[in-house]
Amino acid sequence: MAAAWKSRGTRVRHLGRTGRATTVLLAAGIGMLSPGAGVLPAWAQPTTVAPDDGGYYATAPPLDGFPVPADSGKPDETYEMSKGCVSSGLGEHIDIKSRPWGQEYLQIDKLQEIVRAATGSAGKGIKVAVIDTGVRQHPYFQDRVESGGDYVATPSKLPPGLEDCDGHGTEVAGIIAANPDKDKGIGFKGVAPDATILSIRQSSQNYSKKDQTSTPAASSSNVPTSTGESQKPTSGSEIPPTQKSTGSGSGQSDLGGTQPGQTNGGRQQSQPGTAGSLNTLSQAVVRAANAGASVINMSVDSCRLADGKISDPERALQAAMHYAVEVKNVVVVAAAGNITDTCKQNDQLNPQQPKTIVTPPWFSDDVLSVGAIDTSGGVASFSVNGPWVSVAAPGTEITSLDPAPNSTGLANLTIEGGNQPGQIQGTSFAAPYVAGVAALVRAKYPALNARDVMQRIKSTAQHPAAPGGRDNFVGYGVIDPMAALTSNVSNDAMPSIKPVQSIADLPPADGRDWTPIVVALAGAGGGLVALLITVFVMHTARRKQSTPKPPSARV
C-alpha cells in the first residue's frame, strides 16, 4: 500500500509540473494579445541585409587626398570618324507647335515669368556647360553657344566643341536653353532660354580609335534625321508602333548613319568603337569649372558591376567634381543612367548593396543625379535605380532641337534599327530639365552657393512616400521647380536632408478600433487561466482527502 501511495503521489507531483507549464504557456499566449506586446527580440527578427564584406557600394569611398586631374585639353587617343554624322537629307525644317508634356508638367512658362519679374531675364548671365557630343549653333540658340573644347577630334571648319556628329548634345542643350522665335507659335522652349551654353565635346559614338575603325565614314548627305520624310514629327498620339527603346544613346540606322536616339548601348564611356573615357570626362569637368560655368550637365556616364573597388579614373572624376562644387562653386548635374545589355537594373534584395555602379551619379555628395519619369508620373522603365539618385524629371516623349546641320526645326522622333521611328527618351534628357532649373535658381538667388542650390532643388522636390522622404527610384522626388524658385527654404546649407513625414490623424480604413477587442480577449483569457487554476487546485485537494492513509498511520 505504501508503494501504491508513493506511486500515486509521484503522479500527482508530475501533474503539478504539467499544470504550471500549461499555465505559463497560456499566460505567454495571452500576453502576446496585450496592447504594446508582440515585439520580437533582435535574434528573432528576419533580416534581408547582406553581410558587409568591407566593399564600397551605396557610398563611394572618400577622396583621401586624390589630386584634381590636370586638363590636357585634347583627346586621350587618336579618334577618327567611323560613321556618318546625323543630317537632314531631305532638307525639311519642321516646327512642332504643341508644348512637350514635360514642359507643361514642370510649368516652365510660369517659372520663366517669375525669374524675369525678379531679374529681367530667364537665366541671362548664367553659363551652363554641356559635356556631351558637342552642340551645334542652332538658330534657336541666337549665338548663345560658346566653344568650350574638344576631347574627340579637332574639326577643320568649326571651333572646338561646336561639331555634333551624334546629335545628342544639341538635343540636351536645347532642353536647357533653346529659345524659338515667338512669332512662329512654337510651344517648345528651353527651361532657361536666356542662359549661355558652353559646349565641350567629350564623347561620340560616331568616332572610334584609329586602329579600331573598320568602315569608312559614310556620307552625311543621305542620312535622314528625326525630321526626315519617313518619320515626320507628330504630336505623340499619332506615333506609329515602333521598336521599343531602352537607352539614351545613338542608334545606327539601316541607311548608314546614326541618329540621336536611345538604342541599347547608351552613352557609356570607353565602349569599343566609340570615343570618350572617364579620364577625358574628368578633364572636361575641370575645364568647364575653370571656364566660369555656373552649372555643368553630364548626360554621359560609365556603368559597371559593383566589386567593392574604385579605379583611378573614377577617383579622378570624383576629385574633378568635388573641385567644381567646392572650389569653383559649380552645380553639377548628371543623368542617372539607362538600363542596357551591359548596365543592369539594381533590383537586388538589399538596395544598399547595388550590383551595378554608375558614375558620375555614384559620387552623390557632389552631384544631382537625375532619374526619369514617364507621362504617367511613374518611374520610367529604363531609369537605373540606386542609392545615389537625387531627384527625377521627365525623360520620355522628348521634343528638342533638330541637331542636323542647317536645320531650323525641331525633333521629337529618332531613327531606330530597321528605319523605325521611335520617341526620344532617356535619363539623358531628364538631366537637362534639372540643369535648366538650377540655372534659373542661380539667376534668382545669386547669393546661394552651389551646395545651397542643390539642396534647395532636393528639399523642395515632391518627396516619395518612403522613410526619410526618399527612395532609390526617384531620390528625394520629382523636381518641383515652382517650389524651388518660390519656397522659403530656411536652411539651404544644411548638411543633409531630413524631411518630416506628415502623419494623418485618421481612423483605419474599415473604421474599426481593435483596442477594446484586444482588451476583452486578454480579460477572457485571464479569466480562463484563473478558472483552470481553481479547478486544478480543488481537484488536487479532493484527491488528497480521498486517498487512504498508509498502514503505519492507522490507529
Residues 6+ apart with CB under 8 A from 187: 96, 97, 98, 99, 100, 103
Spot the catalytic one: 71, 87, 132, 248: 132
Type of residue numbered 336:
A
- Residue 289: what pLDDT? 98
Cell numbers linked to 288? 568647364
Q: For the segment 395-436, what is each residue's pLDDT rounded down to a tens digit?
A: 999 999 999 888 888 998 887 554 667 889 999 999 999 999
CA–CA separation, 244 vs 241, rounded Å? 9
Nearest by Cα to 490 from 455, 464, 465, 463 = 455
Of the candidates 87, 226, 250, 428, the residue annotated as catalytic is 428
Q: Which residue has the cell 562644387?
A: 325
> φ and ψ at 358, to 5 degrees?
-120, 125
Q: Where are the domains of the chain?
A: 79-486, 514-555
Which residues, 6 or more positions from 504, have their beta carbon under 8 angstroms from its beta carbon?
none
Whether 376 sits among the annotated catalytic residues: the reply is: no
Q: Is 138 a catalytic residue?
A: no
Going by pLDDT thresholds of 50, 70 and 90, the confidence category of residue 555 is very low
Identity of the residue numbered 293: A
C-beta of residue 370 within 8 angstroms of C-beta of residue 427: yes
E strand intervals along 202-288: 207-209, 249-252, 258-263
pLDDT band at 344 (very low <50, low <70, confident <90, very high): very high
If 0-12 CB within 10 Å is exposed, 13-18 middle and 19+ buried, where does residue 85 land?
Answer: buried
For residues 2 and 551, the answer to whether their CB atoms sit within 8 Å is: yes
C-beta of residue 23 within 8 angstroms of C-beta of residue 532: yes
Whether omega before 405 lies within 30 degrees of 0, making that bond cis, reads no
d(CA 393, CA 372): 5
Give the helix/strand (H/E) hosting 79: strand 79-81
Q: Cell numbers at residue 91, please?
A: 532638307
The pTM for the full model equals 0.74
CB count in 10 Å sphere of residue 30: 18
Catalytic residue among 168, 199, 248, 463: 168
Crossing angle for the helix pair 515-546 and 2-33, to the nearest 10 degrees: 170
Exposure string over 284-298, b if 16+ CB within 10 A, otherwise e: bbbbbbeeebbbbbb
- For 79-486, CATH number? 3.40.50.200
What is the four-CA torsion angle of 454, 459, 463, 466, rounded to 10 degrees?
A: 100
Supply the pLDDT for residue 549.
61
* Better pLDDT: 16 or 252: 16
d(CA 375, CA 383): 14
Q: What is the pLDDT of residues 21-59, one digit of tens each?
A: 444 444 444 444 444 444 444 333 333 334 344 457 888
Is 14 a catalytic site residue?
Answer: no
Instruction: List, for residues 480-517, the tens digit of each pLDDT value.
Output: 999 999 998 865 444 444 555 555 555 555 556 677 77
Q: State the burial class of residue 227 (Cβ atoms within 10 Å of its Cβ: 0-12, 13-18, 19+).
A: buried
What DSSP designation does 268 have? B
Indicate the pLDDT class of residue 295, thresholds 50, 70 and 90.
very high
Express each pLDDT in 436-485 by its tens digit: 999 999 999 999 999 999 999 999 999 999 988 999 999 999 999 999 99
Contacts with 422 (C-beta within 8 Å, 6 or more apart), sequence order: 242, 243, 244, 245, 261, 262, 413, 414, 415, 416
Quick one: pLDDT at residue 490?
67
* 176 alpha-carbon distance from chain centroid: 19
How far is it, in rounded angstroms, from Cα 117 to Cα 507?
A: 46
